[in-house]
Amino acid sequence: MPISRRLLLASLASFALAALVPAMASAQAYPTAPIHLVVAFPPGGGTDGAARLIAEKLAPELGQSIVVDNRAGAGGTIGAQSVARAKADGHTLFFGTGAELLINPVTRKTAPYDLLKDFVPITEVGIVSFVLAVPAGSPVQNVRELIATAKAQPGKLNYSSFGMGSTNHLIGELFLNATGTRATHVPFQGSQQAMASLLAGDVDFTFDTTAVVLPQVKAGKLRALATPSPKRLPGLPEVPTLQELGYSGLVAEGWMGVFAPAGTPPAVVTSLGTALDKVIRAPDLESRLNLRGVAVTAADGPQFRAKLQAELDKWRRVAREANVSMD
């Protein structure tokens, strides 16, 4: 080989290596600062609780502190937008649910963000179950009586949710549509406020997460009527599914997952995915999440993305059929 050609190839190789080293060093150094894990709901709810459990275990795994940053408002849009606009370096992450990432956008004519374009799905943490519940002092003893009462007083019963366009708002509308009933939706800024209203008897029923409903059922303050999950819940084995009661189309669950802003380096995404998988599958954390009504899946990024596409199609259909619009 001529000397000039060898020198040229050597120079090119040196240049490529020089370009690669900073990128490798950057990936190996991650994270270089505390990580902000944004939750789009106030403290005290099911999403916030699960995020804090994971942050506690993830911090030592990554070697950096993790700050759970509650940015509530606008049905979760404020928190989600803050992450979509954040620097894509892996130091700002989103602990998201279907409420703010799927349902909120599909119920608007102009979506505030595009889930699969503005975010990188890192890991699905797990599936979230919901429970249809009424105050313990309610005269309603079962789903049949709730439907009969709603039909006898069209629009007079009301139900709470943790925000306009939230998952339990859409599940409530799905229930009303399937049963041919009418009720008034009363949105709150978070699950804690919605539950307080239900316990006070200011609203008649709700679909809320198992994590929030179960303690109140055990305390004798709420009565669980049914679950929209595909099968009975371990914590409430005596409570039937809506499918069992004859409503085959009334199946709905939520999910929780961790996302990064679009453009986050693949090496950082991989690092986060590996750490999250290890943390979430740890028996002690999985058990604690299960107690909060989160069935751990720990699905990786590609699996999670495929699920999200199917979920987008589903909730678009539900919003259209129930005529739910945030505009």
Quick check: 124 pLDDT over 70? Answer: yes
The predicted model gives 54-67 an average pLDDT of: 97
- Which candidate, 164, 175, 30, 145, places its Cα nearest to that of 107? 164
Asked whether residue 200 falls in the same domain as residue 258, the answer is no
pLDDT at 15 over 90: no
Residue 180 lies inside a defined structural domain of this protein: yes
* Edge-to-edge strand ranges of the sheet holding 254-261: 66-70, 35-39, 92-97, 254-261, 119-128, 294-300
Q: What average pLDDT does the structure give for the chain? A: 89
- 168 vs 74, which has greater pLDDT? 168
Mean pLDDT of 160-175: 87
Question: Is there a domain that residue 30 lies in?
Answer: no
Domain with residue 141: its CATH number is 3.40.190.10
Residue 284: band (very low, low, confident or very high) from pLDDT cuts 50, 70, 90: very high
Cα of first residue to Cα of last residue in the chain, in angstroms, is: 70
Please say if the pLDDT value at position 109 is more than 90. no
- The predicted-structure confidence for 226-242, as pLDDT tens digits, reads as follows 999 999 998 899 999 99
Residue 236 lies in a domain: no
Q: How much is the CA Rg of the chain, to the nearest whole Å?
A: 23
CATH number of the domain to which 61 belongs: 3.40.190.150
Is residue 325 scored above 80 in pLDDT? no
In a domain, 246, yes or no: no
**Could you give the 3-state DSSP secondary structure of residue 210?**
helix
The answer to whether residues 42 and 116 belong to one domain is: yes
134 and 118 in a common domain: no
Which of left, alpha, beta for 293 (phi over 0: left; psi -120 to 50: alpha)? left
> Are 101 and 122 within one domain?
yes
> 100: which 2 tokens?
């703010």
Confidence of residue 2 (pLDDT cuts 50, 70, 90): low
Domain boundary among 226, 241, 270: 226
Q: Based on the fold, state whether residues 135 and 222 are members of the same structural domain.
A: yes
Token couple for 298: 């720990």
Using CA atoms, how far apart are residues 36 and 158, in angstroms rounded to an integer?
37
Q: Which of 169, 152, 191, 158 is nearest to 45 (CA)?
A: 191
Whole-number Å distance between alpha carbons of 228 and 189: 23
> What integer pLDDT is reported at residue 232 of this predicted model?
93
Q: How confident is the model at residue 16 (pLDDT cuts 50, 70, 90)?
A: very low
Residues 261, 86: Cα–Cα separation, whole Å = 7
What's the CA gap between 102 and 20, in Å, rounded? Answer: 37
pLDDT confidence band for 190 (50 / 70 / 90): confident
How much of the chain exceeds pLDDT 70, in percent?
A: 91
Count of CB atoms within 10 A of residue 84's CB?
A: 21
CA neighbor of 184 nearest in space, from 194, 173, 195: 173
Confidence grade of residue 24 (pLDDT, cut at 50, 70, 90): very low
Residue 202, φ and ψ in degrees, nearest 5: -75, -25
Number of domains in the chain: 2
Contact present, 132 and 226 (Cβ < 8 Å) = yes
pLDDT digits (tens, 9 = 90+) for 212-230: 899 999 999 999 999 999 9
Answer yes or no: are the C-beta atoms of 325 and 181 closer than 8 Å. no
Model confidence band, residue 8 (pLDDT cutoffs 50, 70, 90): very low
Residue 108 belongs to domain spanning:
35-127+253-321
**257, part of any domain:** yes
